Amino acid sequence: MFFVIGAQKSGTSWLHSYLVAHPQVSMGPIKEYHYFNKFHGSVENDCRAPRLQSFWRWFARGNLLLRVGEVKSVFSAAIAAFGSGRSYLDIVRGDQKDARAFGDVSPAYGILGADAYREMRDIYPNTKFVFVMRDPVDRLWSNARMRARRKGYDLDAQSRDYADLLDRALTHPRMFGYSDYARTIKELESVVPSEDILYLFYETLFSDEGVQELCAFLGLDFVPGEYTTRVFKGLNADVSADWARTAEGRLSHVYSFVRSRFGDRVPAGWRLTGGTSAEGAA
């Protein structure tokens, strides 16, 4: 089993599409099951009261059954969560029982903590984790633009929507937290062996070399991907240079951590190494 835990807006939708099409992989009915984050919390609420864990697990199971269509209403989901219906593992494994690998691609898992990763590690034998990183400022801006598209914001540089979006991107714990790769990596590696973690970079993912690395890690035969398509290309809006500099400063610890950890593997276009502007693709 494998988990693709993020980062959000770093090619995980494309990666899910690739894995769905791979003949040796079973991905179940949907992308983003949002199972573990429902009862473990996130960067916004790491310390859910232990006495409420049973409630959150019940909630997570009901939410899962509703998301995949096992039940048709919130009421039936609440009832089914007490015992009826398939388990998380049964749902994620799907119908291709002879598949070499099956997995859950949920970028929301990228802002979980060590307790969640420990449970995910132990849920199935030989569980592996994939974490895709993108230039942290580019990722943050792409995330902000996704929210703008969903809310129907006007992204003219003079608009109130635009100013509000820039502010929220820098202050919203979840939006900003997805770019804090240092935190994710430290939490993940505190409970998962290094040989069971694959780190990829968005900027080099869409290539035979990137996909070959993924396939080798998951024990799959190499199948070329379709590299010209990007999912959710986003709105055609340029980022404010002042905002980009502010975001880069606030994320400087992430750039330093990733560069010290991965060295020459870090794509040359990342900020602090010559990057100059946020990309449009998401």
- pTM for this predicted structure: 0.87
Give the pLDDT of residue 281: 39
Residues belonging to the chain: 282
| Beta strand residue intervals within 169-248, DSSP E | 197-201
| Domain-located, residue 128 | yes
Q: Which residue has the higher pLDDT, 70 or 214?
A: 214
| Domain-located, residue 34 | yes
| Domain-located, residue 74 | yes
| Domain-located, residue 100 | yes
Q: What is the mean pLDDT of residues 230-249?
A: 70
Percent of all residues in the chain with a pLDDT value above 70, rounded to a whole number: 86
Give the pLDDT of residue 103: 95
| E strand or H helix at 4 | strand 2-4
Q: Which of 25, 164, 33, 31 is CA-nearest to residue 98? A: 25
Give the pLDDT of residue 37: 86
Angle CA(271)–CA(105)–CA(107) in degrees, nearest 5?
Answer: 40
Q: How confident is the model at residue 229 (pLDDT cuts 50, 70, 90)?
A: low
Distance between start and end Cα atoms, the chain: 26
Q: How confident is the model at residue 49 (pLDDT cuts 50, 70, 90)?
A: low
**Number of domains into which the chain is organized:** 1
Q: What is the mean pLDDT of residues 80-88?
A: 80
Q: Supply the CATH number for residue 229's domain.
A: 3.40.50.300
| Domain-located, residue 282 | no
| Domain-located, residue 272 | no
State how far the alpha carbon of 160 is from the alpha carbons of 51, 76, 148, 153, in Å: 43, 42, 12, 9
Domain extent for 90? 2-265
Q: What is the mean pLDDT of residues 82-86?
A: 75
Q: What does the DSSP assignment read for 109-139?
A: GGG--HHHHHHHHHSSTT-EEEEEE--HHHH
Backbone angles phi, psi at 139, to 5 degrees: -65, -45
Q: Which residue has the higher pLDDT, 280 or 139?
A: 139
| Cβ count near 97 (within 10 Å) | 8
Provide the β-strand partners of residue 231: none
Q: Is the pLDDT of residue 108 over 80?
A: yes
Q: Is the distance from CB of 49 to CB of 64 less than 8 angstroms?
A: no
* Amino acid residing at 260: S
Give the pLDDT of residue 243: 85
| Domain-located, residue 276 | no
| Domain-located, residue 169 | yes
Q: Which residue has the higher pLDDT, 35 or 277?
A: 35
Q: Which residue has the higher pLDDT, 275 or 249?
A: 249
Q: How confident is the model at residue 163 (pLDDT cuts 50, 70, 90)?
A: confident
